[in-house]
Amino acid sequence: MSDTISKPQVIIVGGGPVGLGLAIELGQRRVACTVVERNTTVSPIPKGQNLTQRTMEHFHFWGAEKQLREARTFPPDFGMGGLTAYGELFGPYSYTWMPRELVAPYYFTENERLPQYATEEVLRARAAELSNVEVLYGWKAETVGEDQTGAFAEIAPVAGGAIRTLSAPYLVGCDGAWSTVRQAARLTQTLTEHDKVMVLLVFRSETLHRMLTERYPGKCFFSVIHPDYEGYWQFFGRVDPDANFFFHAPVPAGTTRDNFDFTALLRRAAGADFDVEIQHVGFWNLRFALADSYGQGRLFIAGDAAHSHPPYGGYGVNTGFEDAKNLGWKLAATIQGWGGARLLDSYSQERQPVFRGTIDSFIEWSILRDRDFLKSFNPDRDLDAFERKWQERSSGAEAEVGAFEPNYQGSPLVWGPPGNGPGAVGAHALKARAGHHLSPRPLSSGRNVYDELGPLHLAGARRRPRRLRRRRA
């Protein structure tokens, strides 16, 4: 643990990936923060594997890119591509899915793939290097709240012991889908129930590993769509090159660990027989929950606390890191006195519509699109029509990667042509556009514009006040 901070400027409840990312962002901006995390060790469930190029830009500036790449479970030449298959994983119809390499020229760093527990270990180690970041592992926030002067959290050791009260000007809940902070701040959510129970299996199979290596070299994650599942995916993900996998799919309501044949489910989804050694069985409900606002007064939420959804497309942790980045500089600016009175309001105004768009135009959209396709096209009914549509979907998979371009055009902070407001849909471009991601172009000096942003943008934090004062948020 870092040095004890007697008076943090920000309390962060939840030291999962998003809470730790926010702590690093704040710590590097010289904001003292205390993270309260109930777990002493990271969860061994290999979720949150696909990290986008944008997320890796954050790790670069958090001083943790090299460590993250070293922590990857696959050798660099293994490949980390995705694939969509029809009917069965080893059936006749499949195409490349989520070809993130198509947008690589627009980002400064390459994407990455590793289990979330490995990512969290890297973040824990980086946070421990920052003297103004204190992480209290094994402590749970029991109660949080605010008054006119600040925010507070009553925290208790999970192992038992006396309650301690932390206070700070601001408090952020990065405490996951069932967020205590969201409830304490009375931040309402818009829920879309899909009424589906999903199983999450972690398993080992040498045979499946061999079959996938032969049939689909370079691919790491596989969604199988089947008419019986109405657009909900059967999803296989490689965890490492040593034959470890995870899988999720809908199961009938009332399914338990003991009353269902999960091996048969896996074999049916693959359309092949293989050895299966199941290591973990978990369940979750497929639904969308989006907070209507990401903050109230001195309390904010980020990551799954603000938006929870099925992991289709790998938007969860990547979006959470982007929340941390957006909120982090705004908290620092406000605390350090160079942010305007309404700057913190812009966090929710920018980030909430981006996730609304991510649900509507990507995650839920993909379920509905697959459902329509599966109803309308079937190779047993009309092979020609099915194959034509399958080919069209295959090209569409490329367009989907390109169209996911969260941007803040039209946000209260952004100069430039009036837009419809922040959203998730856009287009990648190699030119500077107000409110959009900056592409990594070479400057006349020969250096990349990202190199000129400086280490950890601390210099930028000192230079920015004059420009911002002209247009206060």
Ligand X SMILES: Cc1cc2nc3c(=O)[nH]c(=O)nc-3n(C[C@H](O)[C@H](O)[C@H](O)COP(=O)(O)OP(=O)(O)OC[C@H]3O[C@@H](n4cnc5c(N)ncnc54)[C@H](O)[C@@H]3O)c2cc1C
For the record, the structure tokens of 131 come out as 């003297």
DSSP letter at 343 equals T
Q: Element (H or E) spanning 116, and its range?
A: helix 116-128
Which of 170, 377 has the CB closer to ligand X? 170
140 binding ligand X? (CB under 6 A): yes
* Size of residue set near ligand X by CB under 6 A: 34
Interacting positions 276-305 with ligand X (CB under 6 A):
303-304
The region of 59-67, 160-168, 250-258, 314-322 touching ligand X under the rule CB under 6 A is 314-322
The region of 15-23, 187-195, 398-406, 409-417 touching ligand X under the rule CB under 6 A is 15-23
Nearest to 33 by CA among 356, 327, 355: 327
For the record, the structure tokens of 299 come out as 């309390």
Sign of CA dihedral 100, 403, 311, 272: negative
- Using alpha carbons, list the distances in angstroms from residue 420 to 360, 409, 411, 429: 16, 7, 9, 19
Burial of residue 233 (CB within 10 Å: 0-12, 13-18, 19+) is: buried
Choice from 111, 205, 234, 318 touching ligand X (CB under 6 A):
318
Choice from 141, 171, 266, 327 touching ligand X (CB under 6 A):
141
Instruction: Give the nearest distance from C-beta 459 to ligand X in angstroms.
Output: 29
Instruction: Give the nearest distance from C-beta 427 to ligand X in angstroms.
Output: 22
328 binding ligand X? (CB under 6 A): no
The region of 26-34, 208-216, 253-261, 311-319 touching ligand X under the rule CB under 6 A is 311-319
Instruction: Give the nearest distance from C-beta 137 to ligand X in angstroms.
Output: 9
Interacting positions 220-259 with ligand X (CB under 6 A):
246, 248
Contacts 24+ apart (CB under 8 A), 329-334: 329/25, 329/29, 329/461, 331/9, 331/10, 331/26, 331/31, 331/170, 331/172, 332/25, 332/26, 332/29, 332/30, 332/31, 332/461, 333/461, 333/464, 333/468, 334/170
Choice from 116, 244, 293, 346 touching ligand X (CB under 6 A):
116
Which of 317, 359 has the CB closer to ligand X? 317
What is the full DSSP assignment across 385-405?
A: HHHHHHHHHHHHHHHHHHHEE
Which residues does residue 114 pair with via DSSP β-bridges, in sequence order? none
Which of 37, 370 has the CB closer to ligand X? 37
320 binding ligand X? (CB under 6 A): yes
The region of 67-75, 313-321, 325-333, 356-364 touching ligand X under the rule CB under 6 A is 313-321
Cβ atoms 377, 389 nearer than 8 A = yes
Which of 13, 212 has the CB closer to ligand X? 13
Choice from 11, 12, 36, 343 touching ligand X (CB under 6 A):
36
Beta strands 189-204 and 307-308, pairing class:
unpaired
* Chain residues in the site for ligand X (CB under 6 A): 13-19, 36-39, 47-50, 116, 140-141, 174-176, 180, 200, 246, 248, 303-304, 311, 314-318, 320
